[in-house]
Chains A and B, each alone.
Chain A
Amino acid sequence: MSPTGAAPGRAQSRRTLRRLLSARNVVVAAATALALLLPLFGSNFFVEFVMTRTMILGIAAATIVFLAAYGGMVSLAQYLLAGVAGFMVGNAVVAQDAWSKGLKLGWNPWVAVLFALAVTTAVAFVLGALASRTTGIYFLMITLTYAVIGYYVFGSITPLSGFGGITGIDPPGLFEDHPQRMYLALVVLSVLVYVAFRVLAVTPFGLALQGIRDDPVRMASLGFNVSLHRTLAFTLAGFTAGLAGVFNVWWNGQIDPTSISIGPTLDLLIVAVIGGTLSLEGAWLGAFVFVAANNYLRNLPLVDHIGITEARFNTIVGVLVLLIMILSPDGLAGIIDRIRLGLRRLVHLSRGSGAGPAEAAAGSKP
């Protein structure tokens, strides 16, 4: 039929290439390139504050999206897990003679990272195993309970949380006094996390996870250990949240129990909801909207007269989330999808409905 039939290998690779060049991937690649070039033209405040925070929140929110989109589990424990990693880093790196609190172990910062990730992963495994038999609203409630318990645990074990927080947590020399490097590292990490989650979706593990999302009963009857699978997915998400937590504590330089209280926990869920809990890109998109709203709303005319305090900011974010829930339950990513479909339809109409598909078919031939 086609001349490429003689060279199946080439046809195969061409098909793979075309699949990789989907509109979605091209847009993500362009956004990544833009993010990497940003330090060349963006203001210091925008890069080192707004975008750095966006990347940290984006990675943490991506773990919520990963669990929700592939596993059908909406978790409120992700910010807690990021906080566990943060507290571990804080306790491990602050030097004995420093004017700070906590365990003050004075370790090498990279050793501290490994330690923090190991502890976070172990905690995620245990919490995941306990929650793995529940789904839907019950899973949400259990992870909310984790978040609340975590807050009180760190609040009451003051040797760990330093009675009001651990301060003076320095990042490793690589990032210390180099906020742009930290930003670039976060962009690279974001890309890695994004690609890893996308690739995971088509592995046997990821497909089975989606099967469990769709029908756990059938999965059990096909011989799958559903709770173990859920536990492992939760553990992986916990590890990734831990990565975000490490950068968060480096960026903040301090951590205290209030920073993992119910407020920030809900903020992270709001980030995921704004972006859309069903698409990974939405995590970073939602994080950007959230951080930008937090930083720039107060500069808007009229709004600057009111003055945006924390409480008023929450009101605005609340209205934003309400609007998104009503207009597009799948978040900003869903809105973008709809605009894309609408544009495609417009293009078809302008070409003439009769000729459109035929032209498209002719154009797709090699």
Chain B
Amino acid sequence: MNTDAAAAASADRRGSLLNLEAVVVAFGGLQALGGVDLQVWKGDRLALLGPNGAGKTTLFNVIAGDVKPTSGRVTIKGIDCTELPARFRPRLGVARTYQKTRLFRGLTVEDNLYLAQTGRSGRHLALLRSGVDAEFRERARAMAETVWLADVIGVTAGDLSHGQQRQLEIGMALVTGPEFVMLDEPASGLSRGERERLVQLLLSLDPDITLLLIEHDMDVALRAAQRVMVMNEGETVASGTPDEIRVDPLVHAIYLGSEAGLRGADP
């Protein structure tokens, strides 16, 4: 395809950030991923689409190091990460969020955003506070502002509303100053207004930040991404620009199938 060639050309210019080669993940007899290849370039905005059970989150977990692939290779910034545990990812500039919110529910919003930064720096074993911590605190407060949590900064994360917890989840990924952000369904459970804010936030990110996004909300996904990959039953079935994906009949059949069918039968 024309766009693929263009993308490949720009890849040479910008350099590959993430490379998956024939990644297979099998949970017992169930094959969650059946040999996925994926290349993500620096500054890419890639959305993963697909119905439930398509293997999107498994793919995420493989990239983040939470799941080891049964076979295949994961390379981040040219470093083979296939066998590397999850805790080494932040040093490569990788940050992720989780589909089911994973917060430090007993700590305040500020402490959550503060802690998110200390892991990468190795500060977490320190018994004394230092200037670095003041800087982290400053950045935590700034990030709380960015994700609209400034007025609840002293509230315990477990006491936040669902929407606020999702915002904090994203804040904790962004506050680490990542080069590569992976967001797993950031818009799930958000109101229409909150979704709009989320899209604006994603569009306002530094263009150098690479974004990999799983999203069920087509509107959010297709607006925030420049490139879309559609998965079904553990395999890539289509990829292209948002405009191409919007009109792809195959995508309609498998992903929007039921919805499109209903619309068709509803004259």
Contacts and interface: CB of A to CB of B under 8 A. Distances in A.
Given A214-B107, A226-B87, A221 B64 contact: yes
Interface stretch (B32-40, B96-104, B199-207): B96-104
A217 B87 CA distance: 9
Contacts of B120: 222-223
A204 to B, nearest CB: 5
| Size bracket, chain A contacts | 20 to 34
B49 to A, nearest CB: 23
Contact of B124 (A200, A204, A213, A221): A204
A207 B126 CA distance: 10
Interface stretch (B7-15, B108-116, B216-224, B241-249): B108-116
Contact of B125 (A205, A214, A222): A205
Interface in B107-163: 107, 111-112, 114-116, 118-120, 123-129, 133
A212 to B, nearest CB: 9
B98 A223 contact: no
B115 A208 contact: yes
Nearest to B116: A222
A211 interface: yes
Interface residues of B, number: 37
Which one of B91, B96, B114, B125 has the greatest number of beta carbons of chain A within 10 Å?
B125
A215 interface: yes
A229 interface: yes
B115 A211 contact: yes
Contacts of A180: none
B115 A222 contact: yes
Contacts of B65: 221
A114 interface: no
B165 interface: no
Contacts of B91: 223
B105 interface: yes
Nearest to B85: A220
A209 to B, nearest CB: 9
Nearest to A203: B127
A224 interface: yes
Nearest to A226: B87
A214 B156 CA distance: 12
Which one of A210, A214, A232 has the greatest number of beta carbons of chain B within 10 Å?
A214
Interface in B70-112: 85-91, 95-96, 98, 102-107, 111-112
Given A222-B116, A225-B87, A205 B124 contact: yes
Given A205-B125, A207-B114, A214 B105 contact: yes
Which one of B126, B127, B128, B133 has the greatest number of beta carbons of chain A within 10 Å?
B127
Interface string A244-285: 000000000000000000000000000000000000000000
Interface in B208-244: none
A353 B104 CA distance: 35
B98 to A, nearest CB: 7
Contacts of B125: 204-205, 208, 228-229, 232
17 contacts: A203-B129, A204-B133, A207-B107, A207-B114, A207-B118, A208-B124, A211-B107, A211-B112, A214-B107, A215-B102, A215-B103, A218-B102, A220-B85, A221-B89, A222-B116, A222-B172, A223-B119
Interface of B: 64-66, 85-91, 95-96, 98, 102-107, 111-112, 114-116, 118-120, 123-129, 133, 172, 176
Interface of A: 200, 203-205, 207-208, 210-211, 213-215, 217-226, 228-229, 232
